[in-house]
Amino acid sequence: MRTDILDIQSFYDSALGEAARGFIAGRLEEAWGNTAGCRVAGFGYTAPYMPIFRATERSLCLIPEGMGYVSDLHGCASCLTSDLFWPLPDASMDRILIVHGLEEAAAPRRLMREVWRVLADDGRLIIVAPHRRGPWAMIESTPFSAGRPWSRTQLSRLLKGAMFTPAAWTSALYFPPLDYSFMIRASKAWERAGHHLWSALAGVTLVEAVKEIAMPVSGTKAEVLNPARVLRPAGLQGNRRASSSAGRNSPFGENED
């Protein structure tokens, strides 16, 4: 059973939700920079974040069937979908973002295999997941408390099991999930201090991953080629090439714990 989309939408319409969206969106912009010409899909409830991806070739919000549906999603084209069978061709998306999509999935590994199928070979995936030890997963006042929270070790194991290589990590939401005006006014200070001092208490973990491509070699086991662990928009073929220097100084790139 997934959280109702109206409840998630109501959270993002609140002052607390807007503050949370701003900090997570900032991390996403630092990671992916310019997405001009890219094909971008979001799975879960990603509508508040899709506007940061500008001048895309196309963008699509994939909403899990159990979440429900609303027509107004910040102008993002959208459709209901099964976790396990997305209405998209193989290797058809350059970027895939998952927010409020993994923690309530009934079969996380099968979901990730479907992500692998749809993501282009040189594409990038970012998962935003509630942090297992963070207060946002423990206090039942936001959608980040629903479902299963994840540690970095668990996310890494999930990704590797689905033929992804975790390339970079970061965190967000260090301020308490309390909808008080004084707390929200102080949230920027909490965020700055938390990123440097209290990384274990972050509300969400963000991980960027790339596909592993198996290349069968005659007479031997398939060789798995791990893409370089760098944080910059992946090279796109033809005229769909995104370039950015934003990732070079990104907070992504923390060590896995």
Selection from 34, 158, 39 nearest residue 101 by Cα: 158
In a domain, 257, yes or no: no
In a domain, 256, yes or no: no
In a domain, 255, yes or no: no
What's the CATH number where 102 sits?
Answer: 3.40.50.150
Name the CA radius of gyration of the chain, rounded: 18
Mean pLDDT calculated for residue range 87-96:
98
Q: Tell me the average pLDDT of the chain.
A: 85
Q: Which DSSP category does 240 fall into?
A: -
In a domain, 97, yes or no: yes
In a domain, 254, yes or no: no
In a domain, 216, yes or no: yes
Handedness of CA 126, 127, 131, 132 (dihedral sign): negative
In a domain, 165, yes or no: yes
Mean pLDDT calculated for residue range 179-195:
90
- The rounded distance, in Å, linking the Cα atoms of 49 and 76 is 10
pLDDT in tens, 126-159: 999 999 999 999 999 999 999 999 999 999 999 9
Instruction: Return the higher-pLDDT residue of 214 and 190.
Output: 190
The count of domains in the chain is 1
Q: pLDDT confidence of 254, banded at 50, 70, 90?
A: low
Residue keyed to tokens 């282009």: 120
Q: Domain of 76?
A: 5-249
Q: pLDDT confidence of 15, banded at 50, 70, 90?
A: very high
Q: Phi and psi dihedrals of 71, rounded to 5?
A: -80, -25
Q: Please tell me the predicted confidence (pLDDT) of residue 105.
A: 97
Q: Please tell me the predicted confidence (pLDDT) of residue 253.
A: 60
Question: Above 70 in pLDDT, residue 235?
Answer: no
Question: Above 90 in pLDDT, residue 239?
Answer: no
pTM score, two decimals? Answer: 0.85
